[in-house]
Structure 1
């Protein structure tokens, strides 16, 4: 048995996709919770950057909603695209003072996360996802589940 055949048999690809999804989503779920639980401080900090309260609410909703979407594998492709675009916008709007090493690091971090999210959007969540469980349940119910060919790895 070749290493590739062994990996396929053990579904390592899906385990790696799950680990990647969890690692990518952690920062967004954590930051969304931080913003929500420390709302007044976040509101003041965002106002100093020219970001109003409605956009702060939208940011919290995006980070928590799309972050959980990616982590759990519920419409993960959509969540990944949303967070990838969010990272690109954040990098280009808030981290452009390249004279500061810290700002440059945040810019590069946002680009790297955006790249990971775009790769996830192309690859899909894999078999270890809530969507896959729901598709499996629907398929057992006799409705004949339609499976995204990009998700099929058998």
Structure 2
């Protein structure tokens, strides 16, 4: 398949979903890598906030695992829900000093990212995802499946 033929088969919705997934996951993958590569410093900083080592390790695993899940489109709905809930908890536990403009900004940012993650959880990863390719291979069909309807068109079942 030539690049032109591939471009014709891709729909703007799928490209936008891929770009959105990559943008949403970037902050989590980056932060997970930073925490894991600077573990001792992160451990001390988290201890000062009352967060123990087991929770720090769980945070790193969630950020890396769910972040890559969203980016690659492997169980992206599950990863998006996990990261959305993580953002809500982070906002409500660590960014509640609204007298500080910086804390208010982080609170609002976490809420916005959670909203994006919940929308992704409803829409699914789209056709440009590892899950979609695996389904195509498992069925022995082409990688590009039939066009999905949007949820706003009264679809009752959620696409993968």
- Shorter chain as normaliser: what TM range? 0.7 to 0.9
- Residue 151 of structure 1 deviates from its aligned partner by 2.5
The separation in 1 between residues aligned to 2:126 and 2:96, in whole angstroms, is 35
The separation in 2 between residues aligned to 1:121 and 1:14, in whole angstroms, is 15
Number of the residue aligned with 2:63: 63
Number of the residue aligned with 1:50: 50
- Residue 114 of structure 1 deviates from its aligned partner by 0.1
Superposed, which structure 2 residues align to 1:105-116 within 5 Å? 105-116=105-116
Number of the residue aligned with 2:124: 124
Number of the residue aligned with 2:158: 150
The separation in 2 between residues aligned to 1:114 and 1:40, in whole angstroms, is 28
The separation in 2 between residues aligned to 1:64 and 1:133, in whole angstroms, is 22
* TM norm structure 2: 0.84
Number of the residue aligned with 1:88: 88
Number of the residue aligned with 1:24: 24
- Residue 117 of structure 1 deviates from its aligned partner by 0.1
What secondary structure, in the 3-state scheme, does the structure 2 residue paired with 1:127 have?
coil
Contact (CA 8 Å) 1:127, 1:151: kept in 2 or not?
A: no
Q: Which has the higher helix share?
A: 1
Q: Structure 1 segments of 4 or more deviating over 4 A? A: none
Number of the residue aligned with 2:5: none
What secondary structure, in the 3-state scheme, does the structure 2 residue paired with 1:96 have?
coil
Structural RMSD (CA): 1.9
Number of the residue aligned with 2:154: none
Number of equivalent positions:
140
Unmatched segments (≥5 aa) in structure 2? 1-7, 142-147, 149-156
* TM norm structure 1: 0.87
